[in-house]
Structure formats: structure tokens, C-alpha cells
Amino acid sequence: MRNIIIGNWKLHPQSSREARMLARSIAQIASRIKNVDIVIAPPFPFLPLISAGSKVAIAAQDVFWEREGPYTGEVSGPMLRGVGARYVIVGHSERRNHLHETDEIINKKLKHALLSGLRPILCVGERKRDSDGEFFSVIKQQIEIAFAKVKRGDVTRVVVAYEPVWAISSGKSAKAAEPADANEAALFIRKTIAGIYGVRVARGVRIIYGGSSNAKNAKDFLSEREISGLLVGRESRDAKEFIKIIECAYTVS
Ligand code: PEP
């Protein structure tokens, strides 16, 4: 499966000038890279500034579940499409944590994104890893609720990002997962999807890893059988490092 490298800028950078510069540096390299999908997810205000004329696809970091109405502060799928977004991150652990997004809310957002023609990047992952493997039931629940009533024909338009919360760089003692453990979790996610939609559909779903990935460990994750890309936070805001990760995906492809 073709690799996808997604840069999640979170609440950075501070100015549109910096956002444009970062996007431009990434776009320059992207024009030379084949067989890798490259996506950046800037904050909402920067979306229209950097989407035009670049080979890099744009993702929004969030979306609401209604297309219009009395929902102050919210942004809909069609609005995001209108400013050039093709993907949208749904269910990031930072939103689950700080904004109390539940699996049910994430399910509504996922369905709205699909209906709007956006490709959702669904983030799942446990807060803690226990040695008895209890964390697998957390992932199973996140997947099963997120996909509730999602049409079979839409399933492969979703990219599932396995992002163990403890591995995300903002955490106190964050450390990337072991690539083999990430692969095991990705396989588990695929099996869970297969349990709902069957093996054939599940085989077509792109599953990626996120959590303290960088230019040094990217190759190890991308060499794992079940992992077809990376969701990169911190290192995606350093053009040089992000480009190295993209080049790595190109080499292993
Ligand atoms: C993320 O927040 O999606 C992420 C993977 O962050 P980082 O790469 O900084 O751990």
C-alpha cells in the first residue's frame, strides 16, 4: 500500500508568514517525490493561504458534524473543502483529552467528513499500555464506535492512525512505541475492521503510526508490514526533518 506522511502542525506556527514558508519548503521537496502521499494539517486560518497550487494535500485538524446552523465557533466539511482541504483529522487524543470528545462525537464527525467528500484521518490509541493487553479493548471500542453506521463503500477512504497517547511527544515521558508493538496494534485494528466489514474491506484500509516519530525511527515503522505511513507532530514543523521523513517513506516504498 502506498505510504502517506501527514504533518500535524497543531497550534503552530504563530504567523501566516511562517506557515507559508514552512508549506513552501515542504512543497518544493514534494514535487520531486513519487509514490508517497504527503499531507500537512495547519490550523484553520492558514488553510486558504497555503492550499493553492501545491502537490501537498491539505488536512484540517478538526471538523464539526453539521453542515450549517447555530453552532458558534464550528467549521463544516463543505467549508473545509471550499478552502482546499482534502483530509481531516478526527479523534486526535489532544481533542479527546482537552475538549472531552467522546467516541460518539468522533463517529458523527467521521460520518460528516465522509459525506462532505473529505478523507478522515481517524486517531485511536490507548492512554496506557498494560502488560495484560487490556489496552486492546480500548482500541477495539474506539474503532467500533467510530465506524458505527459508516457505509461499507466509504471505509477505505478512512486513514486510521494508531497513536498511543503515551508516545505523543507532548507527554511528560513520551517515547516512541516499539515498531513491532505498533505493528501488532495495527494488525489488531485491521482485524477489528475485518470483524465489522470483512477481510477484503479491511485489507484496503491504510493504517499508520503516530507518536514521537522522527527521521531516525521512520524507516523502522515504515518497514513494518501493517504500517503504511506516519502521522508526525513535532517533527513536521521542522521542514528539514519532515523532508527527511518523506524521503525515508520514498526509499522504503
Ligand atoms: C500527534 O500529535 O499526532 C503526534 C504524532 O505528535 P508527535 O509526533 O509530536 O508525537
Q: pTM for the whole thing?
A: 0.97
Each residue's pLDDT tens digit, 56-70: 999 999 999 999 999
pLDDT of residue 29: 84
Each residue's pLDDT tens digit, 94-142: 999 999 999 999 999 999 999 999 999 999 999 999 988 899 999 999 9
Handedness of CA 37, 43, 44, 46 (dihedral sign): negative
Take atom 8 of ligand 1 and give the residue whose Cα is closest.
233
The vertex-55 CA angle with 9 and 247, nearest 5°, equals: 70
Active site residues: 92, 163
| Distance in angstroms (rounded) separating the CA atoms of residues 124 and 10 | 17
Q: What is the mean pLDDT of the chain?
A: 96
Please count the CA atoms within 13 angstroms of the CA of 67 that sit on its side-chain side. Answer: 11
H/E run at residue 210: strand 206-210
Three-state DSSP class for residue 209? strand
All structural domains of the chain: 3-251 (3.20.20.70)
Closest CA relative to residue 231, chosen from 87, 50, 16, 34: 87
Ligand 1 environment, Cβ below 6 A: 8, 163, 168-169, 210-213, 231-234
Residue pointed to by grid coordinates 500500500: 1
Q: Which atom of ligand 1 is nearest to the CA of 236?
A: 8
Beta bridge partners of 171: none
Take atom 3 of ligand 1 and give the residue whose Cα is closest.
233
Take atom 4 of ligand 1 and give the residue whose Cα is closest.
233
pLDDT of residue 96: 97
CA 68 to ligand 1 centroid distance, Å: 31
Q: What is the dihedral of CA 191, 57, 229, 236, to 10 degrees?
A: -130
| Angle formed by the axes of helices 239-252 and 16-30, nearest 10° | 30
Three-state DSSP class for residue 124? strand
CA 198 to ligand 1 centroid distance, Å: 30
| Distance in angstroms (rounded) separating the CA atoms of residues 92 and 226 | 21
CA 213 to ligand 1 centroid distance, Å: 7
| Distance in angstroms (rounded) separating the CA atoms of residues 252 and 243 | 14
Contact 205, 160 (CB under 8 A): yes
**For residue 211, pLDDT beyond 70:** yes
**For residue 51, pLDDT beyond 70:** no
Three-state DSSP class for residue 115? helix
